[in-house]
Amino acid sequence: MMKRMFIMLTALLIMAGLPSVSVADPASDLKQFRDFFKKKFPTVKFDDYANGLYVLPGSEEYHEQWVAFNEFPPYELGLAEGKKMWGKPFKNGKTFASCFKNDGKNIAQGYPYWDEVTQKVRTAEMDLLKCMKDNGAEVTEKGELKEFSDLGKNQNARVNLAELTAYFYSLSQGQRVNINLSSPGAVKAYEEGKKFWWARRGQLNFSCANCHMDLAGKNMGGNQPLSAALGHPVGWPAQRLEWGRLETIHFRYMTCNSQVRAKPLKHGSEIYNNLQFYETYMSSGLPLSAPAMRN
């Protein structure tokens, strides 16, 4: 009898809880998200989450290795390439700096952002490519840049873009993530990204949250601990030891998707943009540390 009452009571409680979940606004999502990690890892300071899995309890050995790598991080080679690209004038004499506010310095904390004109989320990669297009780079029939088409498969082009983006982010290093969600369109894109984050997918039937929230800091059939979602985007473009090159965050999403045996989406697809938008908002207030070394 008691047991039945208990079940009924919990059912009632769950039902009562539902409406408040469905009207959750981004700000309360953010609070919930942060509280989740605060409770999970009470010893980790908020700012430290910008440094990826290395700050989680139990990752001390990885932290040591990471510190050693940061003595002379191998991404400096790629970053130097990105810097070269950034400074090289286009045919019309302008440079990348001309496409951005404040010459591209200290603005990356607002990326990705909601663009009212196109009614889409725009990433740093998109703006960098648009800058090349606007300044006379060759375009294919589809309107894509000739040099940077099919980024999912074209590794050289993608790495070049990652290096350039890494340099763009490095100009804003230390700035705290600040995403503007003031327009209804932005909130809608945010909701789309949120849906993707929490939806299960692939043969293994995992959502992003299963690994990077519930199992954060634990090994999951892999040879290294899973990172915590909080602080995910602030280190990207990053160089993973496994890859030995700078890569874009979308490529990471693609590989994550195939790791749960789901078909990866296209590099630069809208849903990845929205996911990045959601993830970055969830890391609001963390200092940008890109480019970074990651496992």
Say how far apart CA 279 and CA 286 lie, in whole Å: 12
Assigned token pair, 66: 């990471």
* 88 lines the binding site for other proteins (CB under 8 A): no
Among the listed residues 35, 64, 76, 103, the single contact to other proteins using CB under 8 A: 76
> Nearest CA to 237 among 43, 82, 110?
82
> Taking the complex as a whole, how short is the minimal distance between the CB of residue 243 and other proteins, in angstroms?
11
Tokens 């350039």 belong to residue:
164
**Contact at 8 Å (CB) between 65 and 51?**
no
* 64 lines the binding site for other proteins (CB under 8 A): no
What three-state secondary structure class fits 274? Answer: helix
> Taking the complex as a whole, how short is the minimal distance between the CB of residue 179 and other proteins, in angstroms?
34
* 72 lines the binding site for other proteins (CB under 8 A): yes
* 80 lines the binding site for other proteins (CB under 8 A): yes
CA angle 120, 276, 112 (to 5 degrees): 55
> Taking the complex as a whole, how short is the minimal distance between the CB of residue 195 and other proteins, in angstroms?
37
How many other C-beta atoms lie within 10 A of the C-beta of residue 77?
Answer: 12
Residues 232-271 that bind other proteins (CB under 8 A): 244
Among the listed residues 71, 143, 184, 223, the single contact to other proteins using CB under 8 A: 71
Assigned token pair, 134: 């606007």
- 256 classed as catalytic: yes
Scanning 59-67, 76-84, 106-114, 189-197 for contacts with other proteins by CB under 8 A, the matching segment is 76-84
Among the listed residues 74, 110, 202, 285, the single contact to other proteins using CB under 8 A: 74
Q: Count the residues of the shown chain that bind other proteins, applying the rule CB under 8 A.
A: 7
Nearer to other proteins, 8 or 241 (CB): 241
* 77 lines the binding site for other proteins (CB under 8 A): yes
Query: Do strands 113-115 and 238-240 pair parallel, antiparallel, or not at all (unpaired)?
Result: unpaired
Scanning 25-33, 69-77, 97-105, 188-196 for contacts with other proteins by CB under 8 A, the matching segment is 69-77
> Taking the complex as a whole, how short is the minimal distance between the CB of residue 161 and other proteins, in angstroms?
18
**Contact at 8 Å (CB) between 266 and 273?**
no
226 contact partners, CB below 8 Å, separation of at least 6: 53, 211, 212, 215, 216, 217, 218, 219, 220
Active-site positions? 256
Chain positions contacting other proteins, by CB under 8 A = 71-72, 74, 76-77, 80, 244
